[in-house]
Structure 1
Amino acid sequence: MDDGAQGTDAGGDERTRQPPSDFVANANVTDADVDAAFDATWPDCWRRAADLLDWERDYDDVLDDADPPFYEWFPGGELNASVNCVDRHLAERKNQVAIKWIGKRGERRTYTYLDLHREVNAAAAALRDLGVEEDDVVTLYLPMTPELPITMLACARIGAPHNVVFAGLSAEALSTRIDAAESEYLVTCDGYYRREDAFNQKSKADNARLRLDGDLEATVVVDRLGDELRTPLGDDEYDYGTLIDAHDGETVDPVARDAGDLLFVMYTSGTTGEPKGVEHATGGYLSHVTWTTEAVLDVKPDDTYWCAADIGWITGHSYGVYGPLSVGTSTLLFEGTPDYPDRDRVWELIDRNAVTVFYTAPTAIRSFMKWGEEYPANHDLSSLRLLGTVGEAISPRAWEWYHEHVGGGDCPVVDTWWQTETGAILLATLPGVDAMKPGKVGPPLPGISAQVVDERGDPVDPGETGYLAIDRPWPGMLRGLRGGDERYRREYWEETDDGWVYHTGDGATVDEDGYVTVLGRLDDVITVRSQRLSTAKLESAIVEAEGVTEAAVVGDEQGDIYAYVTTKSGVETDDTLRETVADRLEYEVGPIARPDEIVFTTELPKTRSGKIMRRLLEDITRGNEFGDVSALRNPEVVGEISSAVE
């Protein structure tokens, strides 16, 4: 069990946990003065991150801040992301596993770093022969198969930014992102599996092409389903396997990219507004991601590491592809879902593959809790040495469950906060240095300056709610928005007497030790009798009720509160539990927060990245027509919840 002492911090009575001494002894970062050292030498401290990479040309300086908020990191430097993720590992680790893939139906493929180098070069040669040149944007619309990271790295090799679109998004969403990115090349597939069914991805891509003003120069189609779904190829369409075979054995010279050159553009999901094309530069992004993979997730080359996020989202980019491959570790790529064919699928994979570091989302952890601890208990999880969580705030109860039932009480749990726009982790504990506080994400990382401020921009007192703001640039930051410099300034930045401040849009509190609790989007509020209540605060109160695993709160036009609640398997969803939930809300928030309706449901509608789609719950509550459900991983639950409400 955990040999770290439990105690209280200076500002409250919550428990803290120290990392186990044997973990600390072998951690990548163990210097307790690392934060002070970074602050004392900022921004030169970030050389530590940049020097983890191989540079074609050394950078002239660390930071060019002449044109804020358009900061340039490592100006003058030249490098190639594909070289840093593949080529540089060949000398020492060419026969080490780089990617281990498990398909939806149990298929397996393993790529050593030498195999990966061969595949990436063949894909790069194929793209180049199709006409892709440096700075051409290539859109990738693929499920979690090896062809996705391979093509990402092939694009990086030839200096072509990639624009990955999550495979579950609709044809309309795809066409919008292709058009906005000014992309003329598309890589997609014939289809993929949803449980037992073959889903036609090519038809969505075809429909997207029909929506575009101009035609694409070329479309490459991966054969994922074989004989189950043969799709004829039209003009300017090419079979991926045929292209790879034609260029097998070729080597493509990597294009040296300026540190500030675009590596990729990623569009936000667009569930709450017009999608924004977030741009990330090569040098700063890759430096920050590599450093945090080592320092926060403590990944080492001999690990078997699993980031469960889909590559269609930023977590999959940063900590499913670029971070682990830059470090030179073995990364697990899983196409399936955690409850298929049974609810122990995740634990079976950790057991079978001896996974050492596991990084997942609180929404997944709450599902694991609901299903029951017997599922992880039936597998040997002793290979695990660190657990991570990302996506939104994790409740103390979920944190403790994860620590105890998955980590056996011995694994540090690093809760991490960051955004698509930040590129990499900004707030977290360093597992070899810091104590952990269940439910609190932790302090800003070394080199990161963050504050919780009021509406005037003044720091709030410990425990008071405010706005999370970053008041100093960081290497992984977005370099801008695609075609939207003015929008970039307006939506994210404010110039103050002390400099430029990045507004995250999240509410937060901070304790006397500097540990931050992130409360979620401040615009996620409901108005009840003229009072504005944070949905995150209401939901956090509900999940602390015994037997509850997840909750989502929305309001109707009259200002009534509707709470949608999931419970642990076997818990009786009766009036007694309703009273327990209502009492908990009244105790934590006040009588005004007592819900008007509590709806128990087996699941909440979620995107495939694990985010709850509150917009659909609001539609159900208000009796509106449902919006687009194509991004959901469980669209069937929308009808079930609607029937329950009716």
Structure 2
Amino acid sequence: MASTDTISNLLDERRTFAVPPRLAQTANVTADEHARAAADPVAFWEEAARRLDWDTPWHTAHTWEGVREGADGELTVPRATWFEGGTLNVAVNCVDRHVAAGRGDKVALHVEGEPGDRRDISYAELQRDVIKAANGLRSLGIGQGDRVVVYLPVIAETIVVTLAIARLGAIHSLVFGGFSGEALKFRVEDTGAKLLVTTDGQFRRGTAVPVKANADHAVSGENQIEHVLVVRRTGEQTPDVPWVEGRDLWWHDVIDDQPETDSPESFDAETPLFIMYTSGTTGKPKGLVHTSGGYLTQASYTHWAVFDAKPDDVHWCTADLAWVTAHTYEIYGPLSNGLTQVIYEGTPDTPHPARHLEIIERYGVTTYYTAPTLVRTLSSWFPDGLPDTYDLSSLRLLGTVGEAINPEAWVWFHEQFGRGECPIVDTWWQSETGAAVMAPLPGADTLKPGSSLRALPGLSTAIVDDDGTRVANGAGGYLVVQQTGPSLARTVWGDPERYRDSYWAKYWRQGWFFSGDGAKYDDDGDIWLLGRVDDVINVSGHRLSTIEIESSLVAHSLVAEAAVVGVADARTGQAIAAFVVPATRPEGGTVRDAGSASEPQVWAPLAAELSAALRAHVAEQIGPIAKPATVLVVPDLPKTRSGKIMRRLLGDISDGRELGDTTSLQDETVPGRIAAIRAEATRAS
């Protein structure tokens, strides 16, 4: 096979970490689960589904109509069902059944606001709040199939209203509270929502920020919105709340006096539960439709298996509630398993960089699930190790999600947060899959820093070339899901052909789901992610992974974070441009000490100091072909709220193109600051 058909395997990571004996003895899932599931995957998922409460049993466990070529030469749209004919209520499975089992006094949520306000909510209290919210929504005309867009921060009401929508058989679409009014407007219009739920304001980095005007912009023009329901969060700190009488309603006026009882209806397993929009980094966002019974089955089982969930766990998934990770491992998975959770409204460094350490100690967090981006950021804030003023001894398991974690960041996380004892479950999945597809089983698998190892029980993945042939161990290619699970998105809202073309058309003959990710096998046949196929860099015919080059850069003591992109080059086709966040400033202190400094004259000269050392380091670690042609030192990288680096924007900056959509960024000022630094560096050279 030609070299252009594969992705080069450059980085060789050989460190391993065995299963702690104590965990192996008590693990929920053992290694033989893989063989048992592989023998009959559908029966395996039926068994997993029985962990839930069903009001009517299903008559057909699974149907699949793959893509076919029609008489006109057009490809058909695939169709799948799971647990057809079975009925359940998702909210009842996450709340009511635990109360009915006598666990109503157990804390469901430790709620920590950014300003320091705190509230503990028991399962009985959560049940009461969800029922009242459902009754309130019902009074506004919300019922089965109606769409509700939720534009809220990470507060208790966000989980309450999400479960209330599910209780009614309606469809929720959560939108990150930091998105612009225009991004929100698209989602309101695309879903055809009847109701928008928002706040008067939000707390962001210690400041109360008004957001109601964004909501008003989103419901201007042509849409189906009947009401805007407003949670009072910032109150007198954002006093001037724009208001449209008759349309706008206060949450407390609608919800507080509602009855605390109801008779929840049961819905077919294929009833849509939520629409999850992709970030839109490569065009119009796709609204992925996830259904009730199949999604909850895989969310609940994978949370129990991957996080080895125990009744006394205190679970903290740090994702914003609008991200799919939070849907699955901060709402539906943990609550269906009856766990106690932490939810935190603010940023990790408000009001100080040890806020997460403080929260872990306060609530006795046992499982901590976060993004590699945050791990790398924390390592830059604490270059000499975590302060010993915080007790993290409650932690027993760590997890990562979002992008592949660099091996050095993995080891730092293991040693600093995990005391060298806690397993790290590095999970791979996507908004499209709804739940984890690949991850180590913490009580069974020897861990490799940076690898998700292999598919979870009941699922299968492979790395293949363009023709669908499995690549050899030690080689790279395209990651496909051969055996999908019940949580897979069924379609793209309003555009089934886009669903087919995006995920099924490439390998339609084999019936495989194409992830869009590149990956490699190591010599043992374990899988390592190499990033999005669109991010692969072609240098003189060698297809190089961004993740491997970035991992090499992050392994250098001078680098806290790194991103690389391919830029046009007349000689090699593409050249490698590296953007690095330094671990320390030359005058001393951490990167965080520099605050938001973005003056080009400060940052641009730093590249000359680091460039030679970093280029030599990459050449030594993974080969001269991977040496960056340019190195730019920057104060931050453009990242989505979910922790993904938007490399497309860095490519646009490098090649001088107009920037595309930046609405999903944590900080929309970052691309402009980087562009100014690059312009200064170019002028100086």
The CA distance in 2 between the partners of 1:587 and 1:628, in whole Å, is 37
5 Å-filtered alignment, 1:398-547, equals 398-494=409-505, 499-528=510-539, 532-547=543-558
Residue 616 (structure 1) aligns with: 649
Per the alignment, residue 208 of structure 1 pairs with: 218
CA distance 1:177–1:310, shift in 2 (3 Å): same
**Partner SS for 2:534:** coil
Contact 2:554 2:562 in 1 (8 A): yes
Are the structure 2 counterparts of residues 295 and 232 from structure 1 closer, same or farther at C-alpha, using a change threshold of 3 Å?
Answer: same
Distance 1:451 1:619 in 2: 32
TM superposition shift of 1:309: 0.6
SS at match of 1:86: helix
Q: Does the 8 Å CA contact 1:55/1:77 hold for their aligned counterparts?
A: yes
1:634 aligns with: 667
Instruction: Go from structure 1 to structure 2 and tell me whether the alpha carbon gap of 1:110 and 1:594 turns closer, same or farther (over 3 Å shift).
Output: same
- Structure 1 residue 260 and structure 2 residue 270: aligned? yes
Question: Which digits, 9 at most, give the CA deviation of each residue in 1:512-547, with x for residues without a partner?
Answer: 433210111011134555665433333233222233
**Is the Cα–Cα contact under 8 Å of residues 343 and 375 in structure 1 kept in the other structure?**
no
Which residue in the other structure is 1:569 paired with? Answer: 584
Partner of 1:392: 403
Aligned-partner Cα distance in 2 for 1:554–1:156: 41
Contact 2:580 2:632 in 1 (8 A): yes
Q: CA deviation at 1:339?
A: 1.2
| Partners of 1:449 and 1:498 in 2: CA distance | 17
User: Residue 27 of structure 1 aligns to which amino acid in structure 2?
Assistant: A
* Residue in structure 2 matched with residue 379 of structure 1 by the alignment: 390
SS in 2 for 1:318: helix
Deviation at 1:562, TM superposition (A): 2.4
Q: Percent identity?
A: 44
- Shift of the 74–495 alpha-carbon distance from structure 1 to 2, 3 Å rule, reads farther
Q: Distance between the aligned counterparts of 1:215 and 1:455, measured in 2?
A: 44
Equivalent AA in structure 2 for residue 225 of structure 1? T
Kindly indicate whether the alpha-carbon contact (under 8 Å) linking 1:472 and 1:500 is maintained by their aligned counterparts in 2.
no
Contact 2:507 2:514 in 1 (8 A): no
Q: Cα deviation per residue 1:219-259 (whole Å; 9 max; x = unaligned)?
A: 10111111112314313111001111121x43222221111
Q: Distance in 2 between matches of 1:276 and 1:577?
A: 40
SS state at 2:517 partner:
strand
Secondary structure of the 1:508 match is strand
Counterpart in the other structure of 1:288: 298
CA positional deviation for 1:185: 1.1
Q: For residue 562 of structure 1, what is the amino acid of its counterpart?
A: A
Please state if 1:228 is matched with 2:237: yes
Q: How does 1:318-337 map to 2 (within 5 A)?
A: 318-337=328-347
Alignment of 1:198 with 2:212, yes or no, is no
Deviates more, 1:219-228 or 1:63-72: 63-72
Taking structure 1 as reference, are residues 552 and 63 closer, same or farther at Cα in structure 2, changes over 3 Å only? same
Which residues of structure 2 form unaligned runs of 5+?
1-10, 68-77, 589-605, 681-685
Q: How does 1:582-593 map to 2 (within 5 A)?
A: 582-593=615-626
1:606 paired residue number = 639
How far apart are 1:497 and its partner, in Å? Answer: 9.1
Specify the alignment match of 2:193 in structure 1. Answer: 183
1:50 paired residue number: 49
Q: TM-score, normalised by structure 1?
A: 0.94
Contact 2:192 2:223 in 1 (8 A): no
Shift of residue 590 of structure 1?
Answer: 4.1
Is contact 1:376–1:406 with CA below 8 Å preserved after alignment? no
Q: Per-residue CA shift, 1:408-467, capped at 9, x if unaligned?
A: 011111100000000000101100111111111111111111111011100000010111
Q: Name the count of aligned residue pairs.
A: 633
Q: Which residue of 557, 560, 565 maps to 1:554?
A: 565
Q: List aligned pairs for 1:86-165, cutoff 5 A.
A: 86-90=95-99, 91-165=101-175
Pairwise CA distance, 1:394:
0.7
- Which residue pairs with 2:91 in the alignment? 82
Cα RMSD (Å) of the superposition?
A: 2.1
Q: Secondary structure at the match of 1:355?
A: coil
CA distance in 2, matches of 1:544, 1:495: 35
CA distance in 2, matches of 1:318, 1:346: 21
Residue 606 of structure 1: how far off its partner (Å): 1.6
**Residue 23 of structure 1: aligned partner:** 23
AA partner of residue 655 (structure 2): R
Contact 2:192 2:224 in 1 (8 A): no
CA distance in 2, matches of 1:433, 1:376: 32
Deviations 1:590-632 (A, max 9, x none): 4344323211123212222212222332343334455454433
Deviations 1:335-373 (CA, angstroms, capped at 9, x unpaired): 111111111111111011110000001011000111125
Structure 2 residue 676 is the aligned partner of structure 1 residue 643: yes
Cα pair 1:175 1:208 within 8 Å, conserved: yes
CA distance in 1, matches of 2:335, 2:506: 37
Cα contact 2:557–2:583 (8 A) shared by 1:
no
Shift of 1:326: 0.5
Deviations 1:262-290 (A, max 9, x none): 01111111022111010001011000000
Cα distance in 2 for partners of 1:261, 1:408 equals: 44
Q: Which runs of 5+ in 1 are unaligned?
A: 1-10
Q: Distance in 2 between the 1:497 and 1:348 partners?
A: 50
In structure 2, what is the Cα distance between the partners aligned to 1:556 and 1:40?
Answer: 47
Cα deviation, 1:15-50, whole Å, max 9, x if unaligned, reads: 221111112222222x33111111112210112310
Asked whether the 8 Å contact 1:304–1:332 carries over to 2, the reply is: yes
Deviation at 1:124, TM superposition (A): 0.4
Q: Over residues 92-127 of structure 1, what are the superposed CA-to-partner deviations in whole Å (9 max), with x where a residue is unaligned?
A: 210111111111101112210011011101110011
Distance in 1 of aligned mates of 2:535 and 2:483? 26
Of structures 1 and 2, the one scoring higher in RCO (CA 8 A, sep 6+) is 2
CA distance 1:630–1:71, change in 2 (3 Å): closer
Taking the aligned partners of 1:488 and 1:429, their CA distance within structure 2 comes to 29
8 Å contact 2:280–2:661 — kept in the other structure?
A: no
Cα gap change, 1:27 to 1:476, in 2 (>3 Å): same
- Does the residue aligned with 2:483 lie in a helix, a strand or coil? coil
Letter in 2 for 1:369: S
SS of 1:246's partner is coil
CA distance in 2, matches of 1:497, 1:528: 30
For residues 461-511 of structure 1, the C-alpha deviation after alignment (integer angstroms, 9 at most, x for no partner) is 001011111112311111111112222122111486974111001000123
